[in-house]
Structure 1
Amino acid sequence: MDLLLLEKALLGLFAAIVIATVVSKLRGKRFKLPPGPIPIPIFGNWLQVGDDLNHRNLTEYAKKFGDILLLRMGQRNLVVVSSPELAREVLHTQGVEFGSRTRNVVFDIFTDKGQDMVFTVYGEHWRKMRRIMTVPFFTNKVVQQYRQGWEDEVLEVINDVKKNPEASTNGIVLRKRLQLMMYNNLYRIMFDRRFESEDDPLFNKLKVLNGERSRLAQSFDYNYGDFIPILRPFLRGYLKICQQVKDKRLQLFKDNFVEERKKLASTKATDNNRMKCAIDYILEAEQKGEINEDNVLFIVENINVAAIETTLWSVEWGIAELVNNPHIQQKLRNELDTVLGPGVLVTEPDIPKLPYLYAVVKETLRLRMAIPLLVPHMNLHDAKLGDYDIPAESKILVNAWWLANNPAQWKKPEEFRPERFLEEEAKVEASGNDFRYLPFGVGRRSCPGIILALPILSITLGRLVQSFEMLPPPGQSKIDTTEKGGQFSLHIMKHSTIVLKPISF
């Protein structure tokens, strides 16, 4: 019986190979496809390329095959774009054609097949979700309403570090305290809530579940089952864990935050002067029938990942580069002292007066881009890109990191040099006015969180530099900045210990 099953499986595999070969030849005649390594039936380029599709590996393929290349990963077409001109086509000129999102087997679980905003296909649902999220999260009014809170949160970090004797001697892992700060920054906006300390049980439960979600989603370990459906049964255990984590997270969001806010709203319904937080606006949209309860929870899930984690990664990268480049740290401190005065901590309205601080932020986002391949795009229908045909439902990756680190486009891009944004690249902005520099993307599917991320980064880095001399641990000349890449992310592999010596005024 086992031999019979094996025989059927082998016959099925042989038939699939024949069909795939015929289809491949027919498609090759019909399409002028981008260049790339020669695929083999069933597996495509997977055996040659492997699972680790990070920004640096894809840069090497771009150097070999050109600014647009095609990788056939099992049954998925993966198109990699590596030039400003083609990035403009994908993100702007043909923004509608390439405006959808491709997901994978894991993101289908975590977003319930696109019930959120970030990973839904381009269309009415996306427009509705974007509109509902914009007013409570992504406007200048929100920045002005909450910037005092952000400033207070950084001050809390500074005070806690000063109380810790280890900080100024052997050093501490500052990232742990900054993580609490970032949660408080965004949970103030979402729920008018904050966590008092790193020991808060609810904060720790939230942090663990979000961390597990990030690890599972960002891993390359499940690619084989995503690329080649006949191997998907081997992913059952992995996908079961993903489902469990998703269910626990959404239940936690619902029980501890969304339902609590509903109760508060019902008891204070007559208080017209009560300041609304983001979830109030979103729950109003649910009451009007514009979205359902699941959509509400997935909005919360998007903010937990897309806003908190990415900004935290960027803060961590900025600190690491300032520690490893003490002359830049001192130059920034000099600007802050000169413009504001020694001991006068930077506030959000000060940022336009501090060009070097803004240059440090922009250089951090250039060299250490949190989402180096942006969030993948997809064309729902057959499309043209450059001189090539792109089959429907292809996954389009814009290698934004390479656009911003290509030596043909940038002067000594491997160096952390904020001065470039005051000199030869003075007109380049993080908002995407130059297609060589797209840390937040551009166009319809750009990241709206730029309006929050830039001031939070500026206030945090500015106040830390004003308050401390940040140094490597004793016996080290630099801290380790080895990268850890994921499906979309780029963060520091080792959460570094740094010494923070208070500055006297």
Structure 2
Amino acid sequence: MDLVLLEKVLLGLFVAITVAVVVSKLRGKRFKLPPGPIPVPVFGNWLQVGDDLNHRNLTAMARRFGEIFLLRMGQRNLVVASSPELAREVLYTQGVEFGSRTRNVVFDIFTGKGQDMVFTVYGDHWRKMRRIMTVPFFTNKVVQQNRHGWEDEAARVVADLKANPKAATEGVVLRRRLQLMMYNNMYRIMFDRRFESEEDPLFLKLKALNGERSRLAQSFQYNYGDFIPILRPFLRGYLKMCKDVKERRIQLFKDCFVEERKKLNQTGGSDGLKCAIDHILEAEKKGEINEDNVLYIVENINVAAIETTLWSIEWGIAELVNHPEIQEKLRREIDAVLGAGVQVTEPDMPKLPYLQAVIKETLRLRMAIPLLVPHMNLHDAKLAGYDIPAESKILINAWFLANNPNHWKKPEEFRPERFLEEEAKVEANGNDFRFLPFGAGRRNCPGIILALPILGITIGRLVQNFELLPPPGQDKIDTTEKGGQFSMHILTHSTIVAKPRAL
């Protein structure tokens, strides 16, 4: 390291320590803070608890410190809420006070400093973006217009599996084909386009850039520069990679999808049928949003809609493979209600309560975003009688809410029956603050209206067309979790044997 830089860093650390100690003492007199481990100057609790603040580690801390506790991560306050009552307070009762999103060096890059909808602060820009995105993406009309496309994509998955002799014998990594399906589901909505195969060059490029974006954003590598800003010079290489990936993704969205759609509309090749991007481009023409906002909306859908639903499908299949009795019970329901060989469609969902229960149980036990997207209070606030300093990062441990043995009967078991018996009134839409797979309140995930029918169609058709089994020589498939800063997905993309049924 350059000696001048080292000298500046050491001097800066000394100043930061002095300031932190003084501020800590001053704040100690002013604030009644939530309990938590005792922080040390500059580093806070970071050296004590580490980077991996996943749902299970935070659950262990909640059992030690209580349903609300505070971690001081460098210069950032991180407040963790772990009870339904506190979740209601943060997400609903004080939804305005806690309605913003935390900023960090990496997400500032990927969202153009909050030009999107998901990660922007609560205010006029968020309200405008939410309103503009609702009509083309998040209404029942959108579901009815696009359900035939989702059913078609699921049918293609079934056909491809039946045509692949390996699927019925040694098995295939089903996730790869389902990933193509999910991209096609969302790109049909956005651009009225689909990719023909897993080898499509544009699909491969898009998938690679999205994967790299997720890897960089989910990493714990950038935390030290985020927690202690004086250390950010050491992140130059990492942030350069983030900027490069961001620029290439945004350019790809613009050149290959947005501009192509504009050309198609100008030449009359779209047949006058509107897709989501047409509505977004109309808002741009009216001056409600700019070109960057358009591209960051596409960015959000690529991140928030495709992979999260894919993770949930993958978890649901894994649990059904490992619980053949549940898989068979679901198959019997579908056959009895629809008739042998009649394929599941979106309008069938209300008639298939056990299928709905399987989906809910998957979302409960294997929540894709177990800590939800972090919240933030722009100003000093109160929560559970404690003072919450301005710009604190607020995490709701939604996984613990849905897996707390004080609130659920044998939560460690995969048991869909609970949603037909003791929890029959609980829905995934936030009507019960013990079960928040899509959040609740102002900043809830509006994608629930798309995710639930896609989950039902996909899982339903796979179960009714195939007996889903672990590969030869295995009794079960591995369901070890892999988590990032905001996600929980399966560590090993499992090989699944799909033996066609005689229908």
Task: Give TM-score, length-normalised by structure 1.
Answer: 0.98
1:132-151 Cα shifts (integer Å, max 9, x gaps): 00000000000000101100
Q: Which residue is 1:371 aligned to? A: 369
Instruction: In structure 2, give the amino acid aligned to 1:277.
Output: C
Aligned residue pairs, count: 502
Q: What is the CA distance between 1:16 and its match in structure 2?
A: 2.1
For the residue of structure 2 that corresponds to 1:345, the secondary structure is: coil
Separation (CA, whole Å) in 1 of partners of 2:112 and 2:308:
22
What residue identity is the alignment partner of 1:400?
A
Using the alignment, how far apart are the partners of 2:103 and 2:17 within structure 1? 25
Distance in 1 of aligned mates of 2:151 and 2:491: 28
Amino acid at match of 1:13: L
Which residue, 449, 452, 471 being the options, matches 2:450? 452
Q: 1:248 to 1:389 in 2, by over 3 A?
A: same
Q: Which residue of 1 aligns with 2:360?
A: 362
Q: Secondary structure of 2:403's partner?
A: coil
- 1:478 corresponds to which residue? 476
Select between 10-19 and 350-359 the one with higher mean Cα deviation: 10-19
* Aligned: 1:128 with 2:159: no
The equivalent of 1:275 in structure 2 is 273
Tell me which residue corresponds to 1:50: 50
Which residue is 1:415 aligned to?
Answer: 413
- The 5 Å alignment of 1:16-415 reads 16-268=16-268, 274-415=272-413
Q: Distance in 2 between matches of 1:441 and 1:82?
A: 14
**SS in structure 1 of the partner of residue 29 of structure 2:** helix
Equivalent residue number for residue 441 of structure 2 = 443
| Shift in Å, 1:19 | 1.6
Aligned AA (1:46):
W
Partner deviation per Cα, 1:346-395 (whole Å, 9 max, x = no partner): 10000000000000000000000010000000000000001100000000
CA shift, 1:9, in A, is 4.7
Name the aligned partner's letter for residue 73 of structure 1. M
Give the letter aligned to residue 179 of structure 1: Q
Q: Which amino acid aligns with 1:442?
A: A
CA deviation after TM superposition for structure 1 residue 15, in Å:
2.9
User: Residues of 1 paired with 2:233 and 2:5: CA distance?
Assistant: 16
**2:463 counterpart residue number:** 465
Q: How far apart, CA to CA, are the structure 2 residues paired with 1:100 and 1:308?
A: 24
Give, in whole Å, the separation in 2 of the partners of 1:355 and 1:224.
Answer: 47
Alignment partners' CA distance in 1, 2:473 and 2:331:
24
Q: Deviations along 1:240-296, whole A, 9 cap, x unmatched?
A: 000000000000000000000111111129x8x711000000000000000000000
What displacement does 1:11 show? 4.3
8 Å CA contact 2:9, 2:231 repeated in 1: no
Q: Is the 8 A contact 2:136 2:142 kept in 1?
A: yes
CA distance in 1, matches of 2:215, 2:226: 17
Letter in 1 for 2:160: D
Q: Which amino acid aligns with 2:255?
A: D
Deviations 1:20-63 (A, max 9, x none): 11100110110000000000000000000101111111111111
Match of 2:70, SS state, is strand
SS in 2 for 1:498: strand
Q: Which residue identity lines up with residue 80 of structure 2 in the other structure?
A: V
The secondary structure found in structure 2 opposite 1:160 is: helix
Structure 1 residue 494, shift from structure 2 partner: 0.6
1:13 deviation in Å? 2.5
Corresponding position of 1:494: 492
Tell me by how many angstroms 1:224 deviates.
1.2
Distance in 1 (alpha carbons) for counterparts of 2:234 and 2:12: 18
1:168-203: CA deviations, max 9, x gaps?
110000000000000000000000000011110000
Question: SS at 1:77's partner residue?
Answer: strand
Distance of 2:328 and 2:255 partners within structure 1 = 47
Equivalent-residue separation in structure 2 for 1:5 and 1:215 (angstroms)? 29
Q: Which residue of structure 2 aligns with residue 14 of structure 1?
A: 14
Per the TM alignment, residue 231 of structure 1 is displaced from its structure 2 partner at its CA by 1.5
Q: CA deviation at 1:434?
A: 0.3
Residues 314-358 of structure 1: per-residue CA shift (max 9 Å, x gap): 000000000000000000000000000111111000000000000
How far the C-alpha of 1:3 sits from its partner, in A, is 7.3
- The Cα RMSD (Å) is 1.2
Contact 2:9 2:230 in 1 (8 A): no
Structure 1 residue 8: Cα displacement: 5.9
Tell me how far apart the structure 2 counterparts of residues 7 and 443 of structure 1 sit (CA, whole Å): 48
Distance 1:11 1:297 in 2: 42
Aligned partners of 2:63, 2:229: CA distance in 1, in Å? 30
Equivalent residues of 2:12, 2:230 under 8 A apart: no
- 1:14: how far off? 2.5
Question: How big is each residue's C-alpha offset from its partner over 1:70-107, in whole Å with a ceiling of 9 and x where there is no partner?
Answer: 00000110000000000000000000000000021111
What CA deviation, in whole Å up to 9, does each residue of 1:448-502 have, x standing for no partner?
0000000000000000000000000001000000101111111001100010000
The structure-2 alpha-carbon separation of the partners of 1:72 and 1:336, relative to structure 1 and needing over 3 Å to count, comes to same
Q: Distance in 1 between matches of 2:108 and 2:248?
A: 16
Kindly state the Cα deviation for residue 222 of structure 1 after the two structures are TM-superposed.
1.5
Pair 1:8–1:333, CA change in 2 (3 A): closer
Q: Structure 1 residues 223 and 8, CA, compared in 2 at 3 Å: closer, same or farther? A: closer
Q: Secondary structure at the match of 1:404?
A: helix
